Amino acid sequence: MAEHHTASDCKHKTSSNAGGSVSGNGRPNSPAGCGGSGGLSGGLTQPAGWQSLLSFTILFLAWLAGFSSRLFAVIRFESIIHEFDPWFNYRSTHHLTTNGFYEFLNWFDERAWYPLGRIVGGTVYPGLMVTAGLIHYILNLLHVTVHIRDVCVFLAPVFSGLTAISTFLLTRELWNQGAGLLAACFIAIVPGYISRSVAGSFDNEGIAIFALQFTYYLWVKSVKTGSVFWAIGCCLSYFYMVSAWGGYVFIINLIPLHVFALLLMQRFSRRLYIAYSTFYIVGLVLSMQIPFVGFQPIRTSEHMAAAGVFALLQAYAFLQYLKDRLTRQEFQTLFFLGVSLAAGVVFLTVIYLTYTGESHLPVMLRYAKIHIPIIASVSEHQPTTWVSFFFDLHILVCTFPAGLWFCIKNINDERVFVALYAISAVYFAGVMVRLMLTLTPVVCMLSAIAFSSVFEHYLGDDMKRENPPAEDSKQDRPEEGLGPNIKSIVTMLMLMLLMMFAVHCTWVTSNAYSSPSVVLASYNHDGSRNILDDFREAYYWLRQNTDEHARVMSWWDYGYQIAGMANRTTLVDNNTWNNSHIALVGKAMSSNESAAYEIMKSLDVDYVLIIFGGVIGYSGDDINKFLWMVRIAEGEHPKDIRESDYFTPQGEFRVDKAGSPTLLNCLMYKMSYYRFGPYTRLDFRTPPGFDRTRNAEIGNKDIRLKHLEEAFTSEHWLVRIYRVKKQENRQALDHKLRNIAAKQKYTSKKVLPSLFH
Amino acid sequence: MQRSLIACFFRASLCAEGLVNEDVKRTLDLSSHLAKITAEIQLANHGASRVNGFTLALEAELAPHLAFIGVKGEEEEDESLELKETTVHGQSGKFFEAQLPSSLAPGAKLRVKVETVFSHVLKPFPTHITQAERQLVVFQGNHYLYSPYPTRSQTTRVRLASKTVESYTKLGNPTKSDETVEYGPFKDVPPFSQDAMKIHYENNTPFLSISSITRTVEVSHWGNIAVEETIDLRHTGAYLKGPFSRYDYQRQSDSGISSVKSFKTILPASAQDVYYRDEIGNISTSHLQVLDDSVEVEIRPRFPLFGGWKTHYIVGYNLPSYEYLYNLGDQYALKLRLVDHVYDDQVIDQLTVKLILPEGARNIHMDTPYPITRSQDELHYTYLDTFGRPVLVATKNNLVEQHIQDVVVHYTFNKILMLQEPLLVVGAFYILFFTVIIYVRLDFSITKDPAAEVRMKVASITEQVLTLVNKRLGLYRHMDEVVNRYKQTRDTGALNSGRKTLEAEHRTLSNDISALQARLKSEGSDLAEKVGEIQKLDNQLKDLVCRSCQEAERLVAGKVKKDTYIDSDKTLSGKRQELVSRIDSLLDAL
């Protein structure tokens, strides 16, 4: 046992050693340690054997920890697809597994965006579906009869393990093995990444972060070695990333940025030239194979940086070549010629791009964010607050600048890369909450480097001090002014921070990111749990008891869920590509009933589905989202809908008596509060018709619907579905009307007899 | 009436049997959504010869709805009689030939009880009702017993679901009290007589029917039987017209009175791991109650079922196989219910049973309690299967509670096949580990990298150097101990022998290190110089050790004072410390 201990101590030492080179420098107290005179035979007696065993164990445990901490939702609820977008992904994966790959690529989904439909195969990143479908196919080939739903639910947790491993590899290339292991452990449990990869959140990001990290690892590796092999590997990984997530643009900009920075820093080498040339050409061709991406890589401005850097690199290499061949004088003339030529080319390109209007994309994005409400209405497009940085990254957000500083201090080719990665990711994460995801891996890596360096310094010296023979250490010499107490205090402090980090991660995962949001749970005073399954109740009702081709109108948030769970045609969904269509739905919701009926008739709507939280106090309901509907509708139909109409003269949005009459008579209000007036006297302190979400007694209690009728309301009133009445048969025309009709001079007389007889 | 008389004329042979229904008591139970008609018949043989069987007849209007027919003797414990479907020439309807256990002598009498169950014969009228309305249904039947034999006397008693009756046919001035209507007695009714009975009454019992059920039973010889039922449920009562108001449904107790909120399914007592779900996940609105002799699941569909609404769900559970699977050597018999309880008074329009037997089961033979259509056997592949499990598929339409009976499946299974699955797992792991071993041990690169090879060689040499140097430092430490002991015991012999061993071992170690150093040099590594440096430092270190040894000798011999000794010892050990740390740093650099 003792032997084991000393041996593993040696291991720890080596693993935290710079460069990861094999060197058994830990001198054991007993002669029989890692020395080889022990009884253990073969690989385990060698430090290298221990090293790989320990790394393997740590990585395996990181995988396990990452996997299991993502299972809160499955254990608390069930194996179910979460939220909104995953439902679409699940539905497409289901389509893929039942109909095959080519059917999937050619899939025209007539159940979405009625009456337009959606060409799914050409408008998705198929990587996620293909990955899940492939796993399902292989498992079924081996007769492991797993349902595709379970594959989809557990895909993200499994991939989080792969992310941990690729982060380990990348960090090992950047710093050393010890930092790599720390980084793997960090990324396995950090909430910033868990938020997008819990079991059931079957989304692109779940696999894309793995692809991102792995691509970067292969890139660093190919820059380091200058081998075409690694560069091709990087291209393949990049191809996978392109197929999985739109965030591939981050890679195709960061890698050229790295190359450019290296050129500026006079770090050009043949390795870099080989790596980038291979990557750009093969990567470009591969990325264009994805139908959704198509010719974008050679057309749009966000890919232009890569092309520019490619040209620059070729020019630079050419100049280097000429420099060897020409005299100084000749070279100078050529240089000026080249520079002026290049300037001319750049000028022409800029003019061309301005002419075609492509280069305005960033400006347009900014414009869109301010002026198109639909983009602003999505909560994950909001700027990140400081709180959420700490919430998602905890101690890492404080330590990663230290890691960055370590990297910059000991700069080399690949550390330039990680520095650029960190800086750009910080910028993006600050712009949009959702891009926190790209920041998380680099924060984990840099924090790991910081922690690893600190531990190496403090723990390492500690061990050395213990190592010399006993009588030698009798004379204590102060080493570098740091006493053993300070060292142990620092170590303890660091360990404590890490422990608190782990606790925080688990807490955040459990409380913030593990709710399926399809199923709600409430807790009673005695701790027992009530499950509110209203969404599925209503969706399943739609699935079972409406016509197969019924068209359901709802706000776009629920489009994917209706398509996935109710299997019915929707008008708008979470793929918000058609703003005017959404605005039309918003207009119907915010108009009065008869105006809305005209719109619904023109859109062939059979059912209208709304979410209403007034009975149980669910705050994410449609009345609370209502202003966005009004704004989006106003953007397209400014004549009919005005946001100001829905506010009180004081500028408040109120649902009670003081609310604006337009609001109290609009379709959304009527549908939400239909037959709600006399209801909810759950406790006697509140008047009837008391809305628990908005804490107000509703202003319009006597709601009558003319063109709609209640078709279904779920148990807790969370989902209400209305049927749009078909137009009634024309009543038999009575005598008076006949007179009026006869006055119409332009009516053909030939038709008249057949009309009235 | 006339028609049937003529028919009787043609069917002289039947009448010639001389059987007569002496006394008939019919009971029509219409209180649920099924029509359960029981007739207690006293048969008398008025013919001349013994009679071995008799014929039962069903009206042509009701016959297609027949779910179950059974004939029993008078006593409760009597076995039910065997029935065979026959045709009667010239008569419409359905006919069954019942075999008597012992033939009936001329003049003898016999009491039998005929039990029939009809599904979907109660028609809702009006066919569409609103949520607040009550459900009214119409039953159309026969006032008389439909029989190929003349009937002397009969009464008919109709039990309804409620007191509210809109209308009923008034043949023979029936008496109505509370929930029953009694007809008769009718005397001397000729054979095959029919007279339309029509009752229109309120019936709010849930008109629930299973439009299709697929029951999959997977038998594992590892001790488990997994049962899964996929059920399509439909409310076949009056359709809901107009809106469904949750407010009314929650506030008024009689709103939607004919709708189905929940029902109970009774599972076998040993059922475990019960699940209740559908395509979009677990249905959270259910309760499980474990009783002594059964497991009760309160199944609540996601939404209440109103007329015309349907739902679809899956219920599954595991059973221990020892209760259902019997074997004698390689002979196995599986005995379990062909169809199980879903709800009381259940109606199953279509049943599909799939029995998945273990891989390798042969000579399969199925004994069903009643005729059932067998389809082509299938193969099923699941975990660790290679050539597939045989699946018996059987279908049957229109089943009711009376069909909950056991099926027995016999098959042979070679027990050696049990080992197949563990061996597969073992084999897979073996191959995996073997591949890893091969991959790690062998060099698969297509190019030779001499630099890497040299690096690895150097690494292994430095490894050895490190070990040796550490050992050598250990020697010094050991020597120190010897010197210390010498200072206490003043045993010169021990000191000298210690010094000798030190010298000897030190020499061999130093030689080894020099050899390694030479090898490093030949590999062209610059580490050789560092090793040389270590050797130099080591020489100094050894001198110091020898000197401290001599000093100790001198101290013991009394040649130096203690103070001076301590001083010199301090300086010596200081120097040694320095040398050791320098060697350490060199070692680190290796």
- Tell me what ipTM this predicted complex has: 0.78
Higher pLDDT, A155 or A735: A155
Report in angstroms the alpha-carbon separations of A161 from A53, A246, B483: 18, 22, 57
A500: confidence class by pLDDT, cuts 50, 70, 90: very high
Q: How far apart are CA B487 and CA B498, in angstroms?
A: 13
CB B183, CB B155: distance < 8 Å? yes
**Whether B571 contacts chain A with CB within 8 A:** no
- Tokens 């597994």 locate to A97
* Window 292-311 of B, Cβ < 8 Å to A: 302-303, 308-311
Give me the pLDDT at residue B231, please. Answer: 93
> What confidence tier does B507 reach under pLDDT thresholds 50, 70, 90?
confident
End-to-end CA distance of chain B: 117
Q: Is B462 on the interface with A (CB under 8 A)?
A: yes
Q: Which of A37, A531, A675 sits opposite B245 (nearest CB)?
A: A675
**Locate tokens 């033979």: which residue?**
B365
CA neighbor of A571 nearest in space, from A580, A581, A561, A583: A581
Nearest CA in chain B to A546: B309
Residue A37 DSSP SS3: coil
Q: What mean pLDDT is reported for chain A?
A: 81
Q: Is the pLDDT of residue A450 over 90?
A: yes
How far is the C-alpha of A105 from the C-alpha of A291, rounded, in Å? Answer: 9
The pLDDT of residue A320 is above 60: yes
**Mean residue pLDDT across chain B:** 84
Return the pLDDT at A350: 67
- Quick one: what percent of chain B has pLDDT higher than 70? 96
Chain A residues whose CB is inside 8 A of the B576 CB are: 472
pLDDT tens digits, residue range B536-556? Answer: 888 888 888 788 778 777 777
CB count within 10 Å of CB B502 equals 20
What are the angstrom distances between the C-alpha of B302 and each of B87, B204, B246, B248?
47, 21, 14, 18
Interior/surface letters B350-372, b for 16+ CB within 10 angstroms, e for the rest: ebbbbbbbbbbbeebebebeeeb
CB contact under 8 Å between A472 and B580, yes or no, is: yes
Q: Over 80: is that where the pLDDT of B177 sits?
A: yes
pLDDT over threshold 90, residue B213:
yes
DSSP-assigned states of every residue in B216-267: EEEEETTTEEEEEEEEEEEE-SSEE-S---HHHHHH-TTTTTTSB--EEEEE
Nearest CA in chain A to B246: A713
What pLDDT is stored for residue A28 in this prediction? 35
- Mark yes or no for CB contact A712/B383 under 8 Å: no
A472 with B381: Cβ contact below 8 A: no
Which residues in chain A touch residue B309, judged by CB atoms under 8 angstroms apart? 541, 544-545
- Quick one: three-class SS letters along A110-154? CCCCCCCCEEHHHHCCCHHHHHHHHHHHHHHHCCCCCCHHHHHHH
What pLDDT sits at residue B228? 94
CA pair distance B242, B529, nearest whole angstrom: 98
Report pLDDT for B525. Answer: 67
3-state secondary structure of B1: coil
- The whole-number pLDDT of residue A90 equals 92
- Tens of pLDDT, residue by residue over A507-563, are 999 888 888 888 888 887 887 888 888 899 999 999 999 988 899 999 988 989 999
**Mean of the pLDDT values across residues A466-478?**
43
Highest mean pLDDT pick, A381-385, A673-677, B213-217, B452-456 = B213-217
Of A279-288, A639-648, B230-239, minimum mean pLDDT range: A639-648
- pLDDT at residue number A726: 85
What single-letter DSSP state applies at residue A566?
I
Ramachandran class of B329: left when φ > 0, alpha when ψ lies in -120 to 50, beta otherwise: left
Radius of gyration of chain A (CA): 32
The residues, any chain, with a CB within 8 Å of residue A490's CB and separated by 6 or more, are A454, A458
Q: Pick from B251, B303, B462: which is nearest to A541 by CB?
A: B303
Return the bridge partners of B68, or none.
B117
Of B416, B132, B353, whose CA–CA distance to B251 is shortest?
B132
Please say whether the beta carbons of A710 and B245 come within 8 A.
Answer: yes
Report the DSSP beta bridge partners of residue B96: B56, B85
The structure tokens listed for A299 are 């057309």
pLDDT at position A285 is 94
Contact yes or no for A139/A151 (Cβ under 8 A): yes
Comparing C-alpha atoms, which of A276, A270, A269 is closest to residue A308? A276
CB contact B573 to A (< 8 Å) = yes
DSSP letter at A470 equals T
Give the C-alpha separation, A207 to A525, whole Å. Answer: 40
Q: Which residues in B257-324 belong to E strands, given as ranges?
A: 263-268, 272-278, 281-282, 286-290, 294-299, 310-320
pLDDT at B578: 82
Count of residues making up chain A: 757
- The partner residues of B395 in beta bridges, in order of sequence, read B352, B373
A385 min Cα distance to partner chain B (Å): 36
3-class SS of residue B285: coil
Position A42 scores a pLDDT of: 44
Identify whether the C-beta of residue B268 lies closer than 8 Å to the C-beta of residue B217. no
Q: Label residue B529 left, alpha or beta by phi (over 0 means left) and psi (-120 to 50 means alpha).
A: alpha
Crossing angle for the helix pair A148-174 and A127-141, to the nearest 10 degrees: 110
**Residue A757: its pLDDT value, please?**
41
- Could B243 and A709 be called an inter-chain contact, meaning their C-beta atoms sit closer than 8 Å? yes
- Mutation target for A interface from B236, B284, B578: give the one with most A CBs within 10 A: B284
- Kindly tell me if the per-residue pLDDT of B20 is higher than 60: yes
More confident residue, A244 or A38: A244
Report the Cα A294 to chain-centroid distance in Å: 22
> Residue A303 gets which letter from DSSP?
G
Residue ranges of alpha helices (H) inside A467-592 are 484-511, 534-545, 559-561, 579-590
Highest mean pLDDT among A2-11, A98-107, A678-687: A98-107
CA distance B266 to A717: 31
Residue of chain B nearest A716, judged by CA positions: B246
State the Cα–Cα distance between residues B383 and A757, nearest whole angstrom: 73
Q: How far does the CA of residue B385 sit from the closest CA of chain A (Å)? A: 7
**What are the E-state strand segments in B13-150?**
19-29, 35-45, 51-58, 66-73, 83-86, 94-104, 109-118, 123-124, 128-129, 136-142
Q: Tell me the pLDDT tens digit for each residue of B393-429.
A: 999 999 998 899 999 999 999 888 888 889 999 999 9
Please tell me the predicted confidence (pLDDT) of residue A755.
Answer: 41
Buried b (16+ CB within 10 A) or exposed e, A21-38: ebbbbbbbeebebbbbeb
Pairwise CA distance, residues A103 & A100, whole Å: 6
Interfacial B residues in 373-392 facing A (CB < 8 Å): 381-385
Integer Cα distance of A309 and A314 in angstroms: 8
pLDDT of A151? 92
**3-class SS letters over A512-526:** CCCCCCCCEEEECCC
pLDDT for the residue A477? 46
Lowest mean pLDDT among A606-610, B25-29, B152-156, B518-522: B518-522
* Non-local CB neighbours of A646 within 8 Å, separated by 6+ positions: A590, A626, A627, A630, A653, A660, A662, A663, A666
Model confidence pLDDT, tens digit, residues B82-113: 888 888 877 888 888 888 877 888 888 888 88
Ramachandran bin of B356, using left for φ above 0, alpha for ψ from -120 to 50, beta for the remaining angles: beta
Distance from CA of A556 to the nearest CA of B (A): 20
**Which residue has 């068209």 as its token pair?**
A551
- Least Cα separation, residue A206 to chain B (angstroms): 22
Q: Which helix (H) or strand (E) holds B362?
A: strand B362-367
Contacts of A539 in chain B (CB under 8 A): 280
Rounded (10°) angle between helices A148-174 and A204-225: 30
Distance CA A563, CA A551 (A): 10
Q: Does the pLDDT value for residue A171 go beyond 80?
A: yes
pLDDT for the residue numbered A435: 85
Within 8 A by CB and 6+ apart from A15, the residues are: A51, A54, A55, A177, A178, A181
Q: Which residues contact A122 (CB under 8 A, 6 or more apart)?
A: A105, A291, A292
**Which residue's structure tokens are 């910028």?**
A427
Minimal Cβ distance to B302: which of A78, A471, A540? A540
* Residue B400 CB partners (closer than 8 Å, separation 6+): B34, B67, B68, B117, B119, B345, B346, B347, B348
For residue A688, give both structure tokens.
């009837």
8 Å CB contact of A544 and B312: yes
Residue type, B517: Q
pTM: 0.81
Q: How many residues does chain B have?
A: 590
Q: Which of B246, B462, B471 sits opposite A713 (nearest CB)?
A: B246
Pair of tokens at residue A600: 């619904």
Predicted confidence (pLDDT) per residue in A367-413, tens digit = 555 556 666 667 777 788 888 888 888 889 899 999 999 999 999 88
Nearest CB among A35, A144, A676 relative to B467 is that of: A35
Roughly how many angstroms between the first and final C-alpha of chain A, as a whole number? 107
Instruction: Tell me how close the Cα of B567 comes to any Cα of chain A, in angstroms.
Output: 14
What are B393's strand-pairing partners? B354
